[in-house]
A = this chain, B = another copy of it.
Amino acid sequence: MSTPRQAPDARRRLPPEERRRQLVAVGLQELSIRPIHALSIDRVAEIAGISRGLLFRYFPTKQDFYVAVVGAASRRMLRAAAANPDDPDPLRAGLSAFVSFVDRHRDNYQAFFHGGFGADPQIREIHDEVRNTMVGRILAATGAAPDPLTTMRLRGWWSMVESLAVDRTAAPDTSVDDVVDYSITVLRTVVLDDPGASSATIDSAARPDLTSPGSGS
């Protein structure tokens, strides 16, 4: 009171960019434990220590806020699932990074990528961009032709990888590497018509890891 120095959580004036980041951070935290329709703008404002009015200066609509948060989560995921560009096997490295990312953040992953205003065009666009980015990386890593058919197959394949990565978190008998191996097998044998991946190679290398449960934990 008597000191002009402000308390630790006193209301401070922040540069817009920083405030924006803070608000998105609050959204990231809150939306990982409760769905969007259970999170009120009031609550976000209260946690951030600002008034509701201010929040609407940064995000004119709750929807806009949600889109911003999901976008941030997407970028974060894409960054975490990126392979080191110098890696000798970028395909395996990227896949491995993705599967273990899902492993570490299963609930958040489900919340942000299979939840919320999923029917909304903006959210769907974000999800599509994520998928296309991953498919683009696979294309780059394999040197496959980016024709519409291959893209469509790859998108399907990626959906499979997502499913496996999520299911794996509840399957103690299957390791991250098992999923990665299996995914690569499917990719080479079915999606790309890769002549370098004969079924013999698959039989001796990748397939045994996943054929019998309990081999990889």
Contacts and interface: CB of A to CB of B under 8 A. Distances in A.
A207 B111 CA distance: 37
Interface of A: 35-37, 110-111, 114-120, 124, 147-149, 152-153, 155-164, 167-168, 171, 173-174, 182, 185-186, 189-190, 193, 199, 207, 210-213
A167 B152 contact: yes
A148 B213 contact: yes
B115 A117 contact: yes
Closest 6 CB pairs of A and B: A115-B119, A35-B119, A159-B163, A156-B160, A115-B118, A159-B159
A164 B114 CA distance: 18
A119 B110 contact: yes
Q: State how many copies of this chain the complex holds.
A: 2
Contacts of A213: 147-149
B163 A156 contact: yes
B156 A161 contact: yes
A186 to B, nearest CB: 5
A133 to B, nearest CB: 16
Nearest to A178: B149
Contacts of A210: 149, 153
B152 A174 contact: yes
19 contacts: A35-B117, A35-B118, A110-B124, A116-B118, A147-B213, A148-B213, A149-B211, A149-B213, A152-B164, A153-B164, A156-B163, A156-B164, A157-B160, A158-B163, A186-B190, A190-B190, A193-B207, A193-B211, A199-B199
Contacts of A118: 35, 114-116, 118
A185 B171 CA distance: 26
